[in-house]
Amino acid sequence: MLTEMSPLFYIVLALMVGFFALSIYMMKTHAGLRHKHALAVFSLFLSIACAIALLFIADVFGLRKSKGPDIHLNDYEAARAYTVGRYIAQTWPGSKLILVGALTLDGSKGLNEVYEAALKKGLGPDASIVAVEYIKKKKNKKGREVLDINNKDFSKLVRKYPECDMLVTTTGFPWGIDKTHLWKDAETGSIILIILNGDIRPFRSAIKAGIISAAISYRPWWTFDPKFPEDPFEKFKQRYILITKDNADELWRRYKRRLFWN
């Protein structure tokens, strides 16, 4: 984690350690220094202030916001889908996919057309999208946008296509999906579940267990890079992380709770 921090992080860390060491020295020294206790308390106070500053620099509280307009949003989202497509083609060649997305509140497809086109390109001739389904959204009582479908109907929607052995969702899953036949199919390996886009926080255990075979998260602390790469894999590496059961524990140790969000 520290290798991805800015130089400011290391400077403040060094100051924190220095002030803390100075406070300990002042409290233990037998030299006849005037006001040594006051200096010790002041140094300890500065070390605590540095520790608090480190929490904000590392964005432990999730308050950081990227600056500037994301003028390359479609290109990055296309890189997300293309990279997942290549991963599927190489890992599960011959797969037949159902792609599930969500319409915006006004009924438009939003980024779904970008996802579908880039995913097809990434799959190439090695795998294919057999069906595409779109789910409506609504606002709940708290004013948040949620899928206008329950867990059982979502499961039925996917199971309408028995020829498909993989589900790629660009909108996550409805609450309670782990209580459905679709989830049981994933547990037995009858269908492969991949979250291309959507909230992955509730599914950390499922990813670690391999029930969800792959999921995409934003890379913690990514920023708008003025150097816009042309290669889709470089775009992906700049902004996203692909999580599987093989790297979930390592990534969790590295990024803690900042990893499992979208």
Q: What total of structural domains would you count in the chain?
A: 2
Q: Are residues 198 and 97 in the same domain?
A: yes
Cα atoms found within 13 Å of the Cα of residue 163, Cβ hemisphere only? 7
Q: Are residues 45 and 99 in the same domain?
A: no
**Residue 79: which CATH number?**
3.40.50.2300
Q: How far is CA 3 from CA 58, 167, 219, 256, in A?
A: 12, 35, 14, 15
Domain for residue 32, yes or no? yes
**Helical (H) or strand (E) element with 137:** strand 137-139
> Residue 43 above 80 pLDDT?
no
Provide the Cα torsion 186, 137, 80, 71; round to 10°.
Answer: -170
Is 140 inside any structural domain?
yes
How far is residue 109's CA from residue 156's CA, in Å, rounded to a whole number?
22
**Does 173 map to a domain?**
yes
Task: Provide the residue range defining the domain that includes 17.
Answer: 2-57
CA distance 190 to 163: 11
Residues 239, 158, single domain; the answer is yes
- Is there a single domain that holds both residue 88 and residue 216? yes
183 shares a domain with 212: yes
1 pLDDT band, cuts 50/70/90, is very low
Q: Do 87 and 193 sit in the same domain of this protein?
A: yes
- pLDDT over 70 at 148, yes or no: yes
- 34, 128: one domain: no
Q: So what's the pLDDT on residue 150?
A: 92
Same domain, 125 and 47: no
Q: pLDDT value at position 39?
A: 73
Higher pLDDT: 220 or 170? It is: 170
Residue 30: which pLDDT band, with cuts at 50, 70 and 90?
A: low
**Angle ∠(120,125,126) on CA atoms, nearest 5:** 95
* CA 253 to each of CA 50, 196, 213, 248, 256: distance values in angstroms, whole numbers, following the listed order: 23, 22, 19, 9, 6
Read off the pLDDT of residues 176-232 as tens digits, 9 standing for 90 and up.
999 999 999 999 999 999 999 988 888 989 999 999 999 999 887 666 566 777 899
Q: Which amino acid, 234? A: E
Point out the least confidently predicted range of 19-23, 158-162, 209-213, 227-231: 19-23
pLDDT band at residue 233 using 50, 70 and 90 as cut-offs: very high
